[in-house]
Structure 1
Amino acid sequence: MSSQSPIKLKIESSIEIAQPHDLLTIHYPATQSFVGKFDGNASSHGNFELGGTKPKIVYRGRKYKLVKIHIHELSEHVVEGDSPSQFEVHFVHIPVHGDGSDPKVVLGVLYKECEQADRLCGDEAIIAPLGHEDGCSTDKDASGPTHSVTPARFFPRLSDSSEPDFDSWYYYEGSLTSYPYSEDVSWFVMKNEAVVHPDETRAFKRCSQQHARGLQPLERRLVLRSFGE
């Protein structure tokens, strides 16, 4: 049975779980930035790789660290509909004492444009240089980090709050969405879209991987969710 990603996620074809925090807890500080740099080429920009201190999650009682972030245009997963969102941001984690060959946990956040969205480029930017024409340029010879990132800023907000919503998600077992498509990924895709101001859409595009993989069959896999209907 194939376990490929991405897939379409819907309330009616998923099962609510009673204790979602036993499965996943996200420990991203709300305003703390972390340093790193882009690793890719001029056309696709590739991954933002974190260096030094890394934020953590706990999956099934085991600690994982955030090692890579990348942006897709359009979204790969489709949530509660038939059309993709404008962007999807992936947060790739490996075990704290592991390496890239270990099973991974990936958090996915879908994005849409919104006139009322806070502008993200500035002192509290999710990626500080996104507003610059060369903001996602890659310098393989750079001796240190070239960018800073505030991971919590990527997430949708709780209702009537500036706090990130880490607790509303779909979960399933799947694969990488790029070569080698290895089936060793535990996916958590946020239920709600986050928003980006139209003035910054161009910056998101400049820092995105341009090719989104098509939807894959669910087969007999279970999809769980952390929220009610």
Structure 2
Amino acid sequence: MNLSARPLFAALSIGLLSSTLAVAASPASHWEYTGEKGAAHWSEVDPAFATCAMGHLQSPINIDHAVKADLPPLNFHYGSAAPTIWNNGHTVQVNLPAGNTLDVGGQTYELLQFHFHTPSEERIKGKSTPMVVHLVHKNAAGELGVVAVLIQAGAANAALTPVFQHLPRPGEKITVDALSLDLAALLPKTLGYYDFAGSLTTPPCSEGVHWMVLKTPATLSAAQIAAFRKLIGSNARPVQPLNGREVKESGD
């Protein structure tokens, strides 16, 4: 998952999954997904990334043997919004203005941004999907809640078509004044989910993130998936140990 700085999901800069819930990393700390600065070596790139290796609640995970539970419903209050689309070199991130919220378990989270990973970082019984969308929210206490929407290849996604029509080059931000995204249409009709405690999935890998992985996937066309892969390449952190964590599953 990625976080972005925003006067948009602030006192703390939440850049792609370079969020500053932890000690800020040096601006010169460049990380990658593979090679000497890849996921296996993030903790060596900068001392601020130590949690990537030392943390015990790291994400993503393989979801298996989830425990059925009476989880609170996910109540999304999403409308339409004009986005800023940013290619930060690790993903395409869509920053959003205030006003779109998620209510769950007595907590209200504001949607800050969403971004993509390919293949999906989350695995269900060992299997990934071609992509995933991470919808990044923050509550009044500064705690993050991330909703993951798994993506299968299928019909073109009309809600995301405007984003894929304006994919920016690395380092580029695009604001299209006339562009408005129907955020509610990003979600599948069925909102059953898996629930667990985790972390950011990119440096600094800060923990204390509430993860909600929807069980029903959405779709993108093969062409939309291919366009993202051509631009970004593979950008999924390997799954991390559960370390005794319980994963809960809603009944629906």
Shorter-chain TM-score range? 0.7 to 0.9
Q: State the secondary structure of the residue aligned to 1:222.
A: coil
> What does residue 47 of structure 1 align with?
93
Shift of 1:199: 3.5
Counterparts of 1:58 and 1:36, CA distance in 2 = 22
> What does residue 88 of structure 1 align with?
132
Q: What is the alpha-carbon root mean square deviation over aligned residues? A: 2.6
Deviating beyond 6 angstroms after TM superposition, the runs of 4 or more aligned structure 1 residues are: none
TM-score (norm 1): 0.75
1:65-214 aligned within 5 A: 65-80=110-125, 82-95=126-139, 97=140, 102-114=142-154, 117=155, 119-121=156-158, 125-131=159-165, 134-137=166-169, 139-140=172-173, 147-156=179-188, 164-166=189-191, 168-205=192-229, 210-214=234-238
Long gaps (5+) in structure 2: 1-54
Q: 1:208 to 1:202 in 2, by over 3 A?
A: same
**Is contact 2:59-2:200 (8 Å) kept?**
yes
**Is contact 1:34-1:148 (8 Å) kept?**
yes
Shift of 1:36: 1.7
Higher relative contact order (CA 8 A, sep 6+): 1
Q: State the secondary structure of the residue aligned to 1:217.
A: coil
- Report % sequence identity: 25
Counterparts of 2:197 and 2:160, CA distance in 1 = 28
2:76 corresponds to which of 3, 23, 27: 27
TM-score (norm 2): 0.68
Q: State the secondary structure of the residue aligned to 1:184.
A: strand
Q: Check if 1:224 corresponds to 2:230.
A: no
Long gaps (5+) in structure 1: 157-163
For these two proteins, the number of residue pairs brought into alignment is 197
Q: 1:48 to 1:188 in 2, by over 3 A?
A: same
> What does residue 16 of structure 1 align with?
68
**Is contact 1:72-1:209 (8 Å) kept?**
no
Shift of 1:205: 3.5
Q: 1:199 to 1:211 in 2, by over 3 A?
A: closer
Once the two structures are superposed, residues 135-168 of structure 1 have per-residue CA deviations (whole angstroms, 9 ceiling, x without a partner) of 335655x787685322333333xxxxxxx222x1
Counterparts of 1:207 and 1:60, CA distance in 2 = 38
**Is contact 1:136-1:206 (8 Å) kept?**
no
**Is contact 1:170-1:224 (8 Å) kept?**
yes
Q: State the secondary structure of the residue aligned to 1:70.
A: strand
Q: State the secondary structure of the residue aligned to 2:207.
A: coil
> What does residue 107 of structure 2 align with?
62
Pick the structure with more helix per residue: 2
Shift of 1:183: 0.5
